[in-house]
Amino acid sequence: MSEKKVRIAVIGAGAMGQNHIRFVKEEEATTLVAIVDAFEGARKIADEQGVPFYHDAEEMILKEKPDGVIIVTPNHLHLPVARVALKYGVPMLVEKPISDDLEDAKRFAEEAKQANVPVLVGQHRRYNPFVNKAKEIITSGQLGTLTVSSFHYMIYKNDSYFDVEWRRKKGAGPILVNLVHDVDLLRYLIGEIDSVQGLASSNARGFETEDSAVVNVRFRSGALASLTISDATVSPWNWEATSREDPQYRPFDADAYFIGGTKGSLSLPRLHQFSYDGDASWHKPLAMDIQPVDPQLPHKMQLKHFVQVIEGNERPIVTPADNVKTLETIMAIKTATETNGLVKLS
């Protein structure tokens, strides 16, 4: 990596945008050059950071000429801003999901490919060392042929969260709002998905959108998985409460994902690996092993990767085309839970 710092602007100064601003300031290889936000109140954040403030992303790019931008706007504005960066050939990190419009996401993936501009989608869990150790264990064949797995997102959102009207209406709900990370890791760890089926319920809160759902997944490999989803369930069985990625969540010594195979099984994020000594048999005692991992904050690891992408040393780990596959799966899950049917992916 060159000694010259990579000049990065952050577009969107909400809660997540402020996290990215902090990461850019803390990373020794980067320097923050500007903040962009539609709301005048965000100017105070730029003043505190000692960088120029803009309302318009295009004006900022023309004046500041950043090496890269991080786009942290509301979901429906991700692609309009990303297309501005694409126009000027600026590498970008776009927060997940890349869009809430699947067809537009497909169009943008092709546009980015044709423009040959690096676009990294912010699926930060891919950088978690515990996730990548799990990927290594699975790929090595230590679990054998994958059979069944279960992924859990069971959490209780405070009642005041729903004071915002759109969160109570169709188009909200944990499937579309929260499941993007879990589905991304489902694909990353187990493989591409063939079909899904599901059931949803709004019984806990009675809103238009679901508060709970269960989903069955068949992978192209023949492996199966279940997803248990709820934002109205008091439990520690979710990634936020178990992964120690976000200090606002009290960490619990528990797991959110369970992956099974013919030679062993694995839980995440604790990386408890179970297997038999010698031939497998349900009459023998199971052995448990815990793989050593050096913990790192995934968002900071993602930023380091983005720097390498900007400098041309690495290709984006999560591309728009890859994120489209995750979005397709989420849309299929939403359809399956609304129709109580089986939905095949293309």
- The pLDDT score that the predictor gives to residue 252 is 85
Based on the domain organization, do 106 and 169 belong to the same domain? no
What's the total number of domains in the chain?
2
Residue 317 lies in a domain: no
Q: Residues 188, 39: one domain?
A: no
Q: β-strands 342-344, 193-201: how paired?
A: antiparallel
Whether 68 is covered by a domain: the verdict is yes
83 with 149, same domain?
Answer: no
Does residue 163 belong to any structural domain of this protein?
yes
Q: What is the structure's pLDDT at 1?
A: 43
Q: Are residues 79 and 224 in the same domain?
A: no
Alpha-carbon distances, residue 78 vs 10, 92, 240, 283 (angstroms): 12, 11, 24, 54
Domain of 20: which CATH number? 3.40.50.720
Confidence of residue 280 (pLDDT cuts 50, 70, 90): confident
Report yes or no on 311 lying in a domain.
Answer: no
For tokens 């293309």, name the residue: 346
- Picking from 7, 51, 95, the residue whose alpha carbon sits closest to that of residue 43 is 51
Which of the listed residues 83, 117, 151 is the one where a domain comes to its end? 117
Arithmetic mean of pLDDT, 6-24: 95
Distance (Å, rounded) from C-alpha 328 to C-alpha 103? 10
Has this prediction a pTM greater than 0.85?
Answer: yes
211 half-sphere exposure, CB direction, 13 A CA radius: 19
Domain that holds residue 180: 126-296+327-344
Pairing of strands 224-230, 146-154: parallel
Q: Is residue 259 part of a domain?
A: yes
The answer to whether position 316 is within a domain reads no
- φ, ψ of residue 209 to 5 degrees: the values are -95, 165
* pLDDT of 36 above 50: yes
Which position has the token pair 């448990």? Answer: 288
Residue 191 has pLDDT above 70, yes or no: yes
Same domain, 188 and 232: yes
Q: Within this chain, do residues 187 and 266 fall inside the same structural domain, yes or no?
A: yes
Same domain as 282, residue 149: yes
Boundary residue ending a domain (63, 92, 117): 117
Is residue 182 within 8 A of residue 175, CB to CB? The reply is no
At 4 the three-state DSSP class reads coil
Q: Among the three residues 68, 85, 117, which one is the final residue of a domain in this structure?
A: 117
What is the rounded average pLDDT for all residues in the chain?
Answer: 94
Asked whether residue 140 falls in the same domain as residue 113, the answer is no
**Do 149 and 236 fall into the same domain?**
yes
Q: Report the CATH number at residue 215.
A: 3.30.360.10
Residues 107 and 143 in one domain: no
Over residues 125-135, mean pLDDT: 96
- Using DSSP bridges, classify how beta strands 224-230 and 257-261 pair: parallel, antiparallel or unpaired: unpaired
CB-based contacts of 244, cutoff 8 Å, min separation 6: 251, 269, 295
Least Cα distance to 1 among 317, 315, 299, 308 occurs for 308
**Are residues 102 and 219 located together in one domain of the fold?**
no
pLDDT-based confidence at residue 2 (cuts at 50, 70, 90): very low
Whether 30 and 82 map to the same domain: the answer is yes
Q: Is residue 16 part of a domain?
A: yes
Centroid of chain to Cα 128: 11
Whether the per-residue pLDDT at 331 is higher than 80: the answer is yes
Task: For residues 270 and 136, give the distance between their C-alpha atoms in angstroms, rounded to a whole number.
Answer: 15
CA-based nearest residue to 49, from 65, 36, 63: 36
Residue 310 lies in a domain: no
Structure tokens at 2: 């060159």
- pLDDT-derived band at 5 (thresholds 50, 70, 90) equals very high
Give residue 165's pLDDT band: very low, low, confident or very high (50, 70, 90). Answer: confident
